[in-house]
Amino acid sequence: MTHTSAARGARKRAAAAPTQRPPLPQQRALRAQARLGKAIAHWRAKAAAAAREWAARNAALAEERGAAARSHRALKAALECFRAQQAERMRELSVRRFGMGHRA
């Protein structure tokens, strides 16, 4: 056995050389198809999860918007009631102070 660096390099290359034959084109195509199928399944699952998340967010926003609209209607009604009371009070004060009656 020789101890030269060339001999050692040849032994390393022989040990590192693959013992299997390269895959056939059909096998490569099948592996690529399987890999792409997994990728598609992954992206479909991500899209479905995102759709569920956005549906939940949209529902929460719709509920919040409805609550804000109900609150606005209640405040508007209360303000209208207050204005009507104040208008009536002003009429009563005017009648008492200035003797002004209701003019239709």
- pLDDT band with cut points at 50, 70 and 90 for residue 19: low
Which residues in 19-56 are b (16+ Cβ under 10 Å) and which e? eeeeeeeeeeeeeeeeeeeeeeeeeeeeeeeeeeeeee
Instruction: Return the closest-CA partner of residue 73 out of 62, 61, 65.
Output: 65
In contact, 101 and 95? CB cutoff 8 Å: yes
Alpha-carbon separation of residue 71 from 66, 76, 78 (angstroms): 9, 9, 11
Q: Residue 104 and residue 101: Cα distance in Å, rounded? A: 10
pLDDT confidence of residue 14: 65
Q: Each residue of 61-102: pLDDT tens digit?
A: 999 999 999 999 999 999 999 999 999 999 999 888 887 655
Place of tokens 């949209």: 58
Read off the pLDDT of each residue in 30-55 and give the average, rounded to a whole number.
Answer: 96
